[in-house]
């Protein structure tokens, strides 16, 4: 691990710096609150690193430009918020289908529609999962701190490259905008997992034998990239066998590397009666509660925080449900991830939603009040 | 949790409160403390009301929002009216008497200091009122080691203005201490 | 010619999906010949396309080929060009793809004057979806979504490009493939955003509905109505009625975006 030093850093800035540390040298974006600081930071930093910053004409173009640059061999990032995330969905699906790596940041704001641009909410959880059409796989990280934002962005870039799969950083406005003391490596230290340099002579862009690294355009491999269902050379096909195989392929790689993708963290009692399951900034409130209830008062309470929300950590939730009587799911929406928790709890524990959707952050008091019902 | 200090800086947009909160947070980081800084966003931050929060703790900071300020700075009348009813007795309150005229409550210890006026008259620059306020806050609370604070200010100040900003910070200390000594800054007027 | 076919066409992917009488094949062939004449290395050429009949051309060309989403070809190409400015990009679009759903990207690529060669195959109709009117369908012409003839006015694509800042604009047609080849070559050699509008017949979805005859009649009409810039300069406005300007319509110089960018960061 590279040398670290304490600095004060904003969440959005940490996202940009994490991307830079992971080798991202191309950013295309469009201004939107509350994600704009990421673009501004990239605009200031990338030129000095020989990278490309470009402000595109709209959100759709930003997503397209990022995919184009990835095909050119650059590590890429774009950032947006709700309305822009909606506009990016079609090309996000393209990147999934064509297996082009890229990282898309959505600093969530209160919606639907223009909503409250500066207010925090976690309303895009399902959009991040199912926003683009078709039966597609997706990876979504949800950091709970500036520190996690930095390191999860690095993980997002590296996973994206390795799996040739777009990864979404789903930030909360609270996390994106707050400044916090973090220990991170000195600027410029690279934390890149290099993809393979060995390109076999019979390289195929979508080799049916499994994952192959992306050979950028311009190196003599005359393959085809399309959003249509395609064969292992990238050429369009409507053949049912090949169509099915192509869909299995893009889902299968996430299943194969599931344990590298799915990140969770449990703190609290070894045999908990009540467990809080949450993600993003809500983890902060929940941790304040659990620290007091368990560390100070030794109550049978635990917290499972989800750094990865998609693919959903079903295995982890199922294990919790077998131990606990009650699972509380605080979210800053009207109930999105709670449905998944219920699905994996299989009736082994009572699943109780706790929702806040007034544009304010969930407070520890709200959680402890509910927790008090069982303790 | 008992070490948790919540500082709320309030006033009007343009008074440099967001910057002050970042400087305070940086200084606390340099003093080896854990820090979270938050601020109000949106159109209101571009001219209307401005608010920034800083939480300092030796322990890990979980919930990042200010709920029970241990320090409150009010740089204009509107913020004074809005936030005074929200703090509990025991909170260290510093108000800029250049813009705030009370009413002051007896059960609250309120340090009314002519922050902006002093910046204008003694340093010739109103823009450094925010650093002056930080000096007063630190004099009242000792949140951050004074020398580390001064160094942090120098590092963060725009090129060429480091010393001026440090002077403002020191003046904040003096204003607070003189106010204490002469019992001028501490008002205990009863409202209504 | 045979060698060209072997090198630059993915012969295994042929026959193509285009209808009998379609002009897309003629334009694609002219593009291949023009690329050959540029002397570019095969590995530095990239074909980018959008969605629609014409955009399927990318799949038949033996280069690095990128078949993107509807209307977004220029935005993908902008990202690729900025990442790899040494690559030579040809962006094939249809009239609806480029000027309707992709209109915003078109004007902004022109504004940046980024070194991309846009080849717009204009058959005045959405062919793939069966004949809906596009922003380049002339007023009064019929389409499945304008059964009584469209009331809307058409863009003059090249004037739109010029107004938005493009530095090269030319128009050719499928009836004059040698001229088309020459124009694509000139577009390729031009540094900056160049726009080549290639008029092309769609006898199935456009000609039949508008009683324009078959492919032969449509091609003949294209050839007859084409007037070169030189010839047009000596003609009266009345004489030009119903004619189509052809050849290089404009060619100017302005700073090219990718070069300016890399120079600005000290890498050019």
Query: Are A179 and B65 in contact (CB < 8 Å)?
Result: no
Of B28, B63, B67, the CB nearest to A284: B63
Contacts of A30 in chain C (CB under 8 A): none
Confidence band for C10, pLDDT divided at 50, 70 and 90: very high
- All residues of chain C having their beta carbon less than 8 Å from the beta carbon of residue A220 are 42-43
pLDDT digits (tens, 9 = 90+) for C59-74: 999 999 999 999 999 9
**8 Å CB contact of A181 and B41:** no
Q: Count of CB contacts below 8 A, A vs C? A: 130
DSSP 8-state code for residue A12 = H
Confidence at residue A224, expressed as pLDDT on a 0 to 100 scale: 97
Mean pLDDT value of segment A156-168? 97
Closest CA to A354 of A335, A375, A373: A335
Give all domains of chain A, ordered by start, each with its CATH number. 1-261 (3.40.50.970), 266-371 (3.40.50.920)
Contacts of A77 in chain C (CB under 8 A): none
- pTM of the full structure: 0.95
User: For residue C147, is pLDDT > 70?
Assistant: yes
- Mean pLDDT for A225-236 is 96
Subunits close to B (at least 3 CB pairs below 8 A): A
- Which residue in A145, A160, A190 sits closest to A10, CA to CA? A145
Q: Which stretch of B10-14, B171-175, C196-200 has the lowest confidence by average pLDDT?
A: B10-14
With contact defined as beta carbons under 8 Å apart, do A5 and A183 qualify? yes
Tell me: the pLDDT tens digits for A14-64? 999 999 999 999 999 999 999 999 999 999 999 999 999 999 999 999 999
Residues of A in contact with B33 (CB under 8 A): 181
Contacts of A364 in chain B (CB under 8 A): 62-63
> pLDDT band at B191, cuts 50/70/90?
very low
Chain A CB contacts of C59 under 8 Å are: 224, 226, 235-236
Q: Does residue B148 belong to the interface with chain A, where contact is any CB pair within 8 Å?
A: no
Q: Which of B82, B72, B90 lies closest to B17 in space, CA to CA?
A: B72
The answer to whether A242 and A229 are in contact (CB under 8 A) is yes
CB contact under 8 A, A225 and C69: no
Split at pLDDT 50, 70, 90, the class of A188 is: low
Percent of the residues in chain C that have a pLDDT greater than 90, as a whole number:
96
C-beta atoms of A34 and B26 within 8 A? no
User: Chain C residues with CB-CB distance to A under 8 A?
Assistant: 10, 13, 42-44, 46, 48, 58-59, 62-69, 72, 75-84, 86-87, 104-105, 108, 261, 264-265, 267
**Which chain A residues have a beta carbon less than 8 Å from that of C63?**
222
pLDDT at B2: 58
Give me the sign of the Cα torsion angle A236, A240, A245, A246.
positive
Q: How far is A75 from chain C (nearest CA, A)?
A: 10
**Neighboring chain A residues of B56 at a CB cutoff of 8 Å:** none
C63–A65 C-beta distance less than 8 A: no
B192 falls within a domain? no
C227: number of Cβ within 10 Å = 18
> B84 lies in a domain?
yes
Nearest to A306 by CA among A348, A273, A349, A336: A336
Question: 């299995």: which residue's tokens?
Answer: A248
Number of structural domains in chain B:
1
pLDDT at A317 over 80: yes
Yes or no, beta carbons of C75 and A222 under 8 Å apart = no
Nearest CA to A360 out of B64, B35, B79 is that of: B64
Helix, strand and coil content of chain A, in percent to the nearest 5, comes to 40, 20, 40
- CA A170/CA A1 separation, integer angstroms: 26
What pLDDT does C82 receive?
A: 98
pLDDT tens sequence across A320-336:
999 999 999 999 999 99
Angle subtended at Cα C238 by Cα C235 and Cα C243, rounded to the nearest 5 degrees:
75
Domains of chain C plus CATH, in order, are: 2-253 (3.40.50.970)
| Contact state of A291 with B39 under an 8 Å Cβ cutoff | no
Mean pLDDT of A127-138: 98
Q: Supply the pLDDT for residue A184.
A: 85
Which of these, A74, A144, A69, A79, lies nearest to A105 by C-alpha position?
A79
Average pLDDT, chain A: 95
Contact C46 A218 (CB under 8 A): yes
Report the pLDDT value the prediction gives residue B189, as an integer from 0 to 100.
41
Rounded to the nearest integer, the mean pLDDT of chain C is 96
CATH of the domain at B72: 3.40.920.10
CB within 8 Å of chain A, chain B residues 39-98: 39, 41-42, 61-65, 67
What is the domain range of residue B61? 5-187
| β-sheet with B92-96: strand ranges across | A4-10, A179-185, B34-39, B49-57, B5-12, B71-74, B92-96, B110-113, B186-187
Residues in A closer than 8 angstroms to B35, CB to CB, are 8, 179-181
Measured between CA atoms, how close is A319 to chain B, in angstroms? 26
Q: Which residues of A touch B (CB under 8 A)?
A: 6-8, 33-34, 117-118, 174, 177-181, 281, 284-285, 287-288, 291-292, 361, 363-364
The pLDDT tens digits for B125-172 are 999 999 999 999 999 999 999 999 999 999 999 999 999 999 999 999
> How does residue B1 score in pLDDT terms, banded at 50, 70 and 90?
very low
pLDDT at B184: 38
**Considering only A96-110, A144-158, B106-120, C165-179, which range has the smallest mean pLDDT?**
B106-120
Q: Is residue B57 part of a domain?
A: yes
Name every residue in A having a CB less than 8 A away from some CB of C: 26, 28, 47-48, 50, 52, 54, 56-58, 60-62, 64-74, 76, 90-91, 94, 216-228, 235-236
User: What is the predicted pLDDT for the residue at A194?
Assistant: 62
Shortest CA gap A103–chain C (Å): 15
ipTM of the complex: 0.97
B105 has pLDDT over 90: no
Beta bridge partners of A308: A141
Mutate to test the interface with B, among A4, A6, A8, A176 (most CBs of B within 10 A): A8
B137 within some domain: yes
Considering only CA atoms, which of A184, A182, A170 is closest in space to residue A283?
A170
Among B13, B18, B24, B62, the strongest candidate for a mutation testing the A interface, having the largest count of A CBs within 10 A, is B62
| Sign of the Cα pseudo-torsion (C79, C81, C83, C87, in order) | positive
For residue A179, list chain B residues with Cβ-Cβ distance below 8 A.
22, 25, 35-38
Q: What's the length of chain A? A: 375
| Nearest CA distance, C212 vs chain A (angstrom) | 33
Q: What are the φ/ψ torsions at residue A243 (nearest 5 degrees)?
A: -60, -50
Give the count of beta carbons closer than 10 Å to the beta carbon of residue A64.
32
Q: Where does the pLDDT of residue A252 fall: very low under 50, low under 70, confident under 90, or very high at 90 and above?
A: very high
CA dihedral defined by A320, A321, A323, A328, rounded to 10 degrees? Answer: 80
Secondary structure percentages of chain C, helix, strand, coil, to 5: 45, 20, 35
Question: Which tops the pLDDT comparison, C101 or C5?
Answer: C101
């Amino acid at each position: 691990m590279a040398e670290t030093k304490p600095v004060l850093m904003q969440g959005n800035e940490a996202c940009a710096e994490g991307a830079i540390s992971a080798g991202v040298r191309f950013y295309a974006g469009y201004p939107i609150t509350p994600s704009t600081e990421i673009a501004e930071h990239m605009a200031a930093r990338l030129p000095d690193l020989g990278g490309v910053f470009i402000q595109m004409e709209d959100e759709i173009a930003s997503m397209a430009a990022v995919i184009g640059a990835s095909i050119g061999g650059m590590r890429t990032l774009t950032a947006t918020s709700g309305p822009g995330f909606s506009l990016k969905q079609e090309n996000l699906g393209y990147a999934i289908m064509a297996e082009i790596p890229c990282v898309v940041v959505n600093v969530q704001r209160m919606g639907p529609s223009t909503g409250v641009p500066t207010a925090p909410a976690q309303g895009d959880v399902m959009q991040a999962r199912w926003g683009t059409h078709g039966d597609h796989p997706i990876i979504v990280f949800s950091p709970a701190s500036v520190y996690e934002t930095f390191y999860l962005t690095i993980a997002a870039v590296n996973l994206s490259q390795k799996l040739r799969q777009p990864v979404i950083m789903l930030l909360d406005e609270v996390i994106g905008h707050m400044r916090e003391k973090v220990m991170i490596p000195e600027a410029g230290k690279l934390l890149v997992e290099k993809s393979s340099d060995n390109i076999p002579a019979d390289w195929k862009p979508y080799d049916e034998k499994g994952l192959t690294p992306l050979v950028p355009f311009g190196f003599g491999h005359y393959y085809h990239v399309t959003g249509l269902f395609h064969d292992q050379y990238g050429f369009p096909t409507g053949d049912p066998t090949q169509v099915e195989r192509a869909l299995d392929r893009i889902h299968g790689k996430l299943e194969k590397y599931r344990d590298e993708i799915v990140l969770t963290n449990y703190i609290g009692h070894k045999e908990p009666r009540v467990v809080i399951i949450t993600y993003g900034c809500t983890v902060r409130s929940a941790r304040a509660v659990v620290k007091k209830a368990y560390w100070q008062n030794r109550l049978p309470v635990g917290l499972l925080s989800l750094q990865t929300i998609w693919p959903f950590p079903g295995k982890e939730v199922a294990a919790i449900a077998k131990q606990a009587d009650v699972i509380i799911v605080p979210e800053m929406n009207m109930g999105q991830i709670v449905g998944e928790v219920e699905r994996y709890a299989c009736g082994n524990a009572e699943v109780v939603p706790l929702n806040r959707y007034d544009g304010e952050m969930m407070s520890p008091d709200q959680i402890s009040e509910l927790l008090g019902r069982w303790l | 949790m008992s070490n948790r200090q919540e500082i709320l800086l309030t006033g009007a947009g343009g008074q440099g409160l967001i910057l002050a909160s970042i400087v305070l947070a940086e200084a606390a980081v340099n003093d080896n403390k854990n820090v979270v800084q938050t601020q109000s966003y949106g159109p209101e931050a571009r001219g209307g009301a401005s608010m920034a929060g800083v939480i300092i703790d030796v322990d890990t900071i979980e919930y990042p929002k200010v709920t029970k300020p241990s320090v409150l700075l009010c740089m204009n009348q509107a913020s004074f009216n809005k936030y005074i009813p929200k703090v509990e007795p025991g909170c260290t309150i510093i108000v800029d008497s250049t813009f705030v005229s009370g009413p002051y409550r007896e059960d609250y210890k309120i340090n009314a200091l002519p922050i902006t006026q002093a910046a204008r008259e003694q340093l010739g620059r109103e823009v450094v009122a925010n650093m002056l306020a930080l000096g007063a806050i630190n004099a009242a609370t000792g949140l951050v080691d004074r020398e580390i604070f001064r160094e942090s200010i120098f590092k963060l100040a725009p090129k060429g203005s480091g010393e001026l900003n440090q002077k403002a910070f020191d003046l904040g200390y003096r204003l607070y201490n003189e106010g204490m000594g002469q019992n001028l800054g501490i008002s205990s007027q009863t409202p209504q | 010619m045979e060698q060209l076919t072997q090198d630059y066409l993915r012969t295994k992917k042929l026959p193509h999906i285009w209808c009998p009488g379609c002009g897309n094949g003629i334009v694609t062939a002219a593009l291949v010949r023009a690329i050959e004449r540029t002397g570019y290395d095969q590995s530095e050429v990239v074909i980018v396309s959008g969605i629609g009949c014409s955009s399927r051309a990318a799949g038949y060309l033996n280069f690095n080929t990128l078949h993107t989403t509807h209307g977004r070809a220029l935005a993908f190409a902008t990202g690729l060009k900025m990442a790899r400015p040494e690559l030579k990009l040809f962006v094939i679009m249809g009239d609806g793809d480029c000027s309707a759903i992709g209109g915003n990207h078109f004007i902004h690529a022109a504004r940046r004057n980024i070194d991309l060669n846009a080849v717009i195959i204009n058959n005045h109709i959405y062919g793939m979806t069966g004949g809906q009117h596009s922003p380049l369908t002339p007023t009064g012409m019929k389409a499945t979504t304008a059964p009584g003839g469209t009331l809307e006015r058409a863009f003059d694509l090249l004037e739109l490009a010029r107004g938005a800042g493009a530095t090269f604009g030319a128009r050719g047609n499928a009836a004059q493939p040698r001229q088309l080849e020459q124009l694509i070559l000139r577009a390729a050699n031009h540094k900056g955003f160049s726009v080549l509008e290639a008029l092309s017949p769609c006898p199935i979805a456009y000609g039949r509905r508008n009683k324009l005859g078959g492919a032969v009649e449509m091609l003949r009409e294209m050839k007859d109505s084409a007037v070169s810039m030189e010839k047009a300069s000596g003609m009266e406005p009345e004489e030009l009625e119903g004619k189509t300007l052809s050849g290089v319509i404009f060619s100017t110089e302005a700073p090219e975006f990718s070069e300016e960018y890399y120079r600005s960061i000290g890498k050019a």
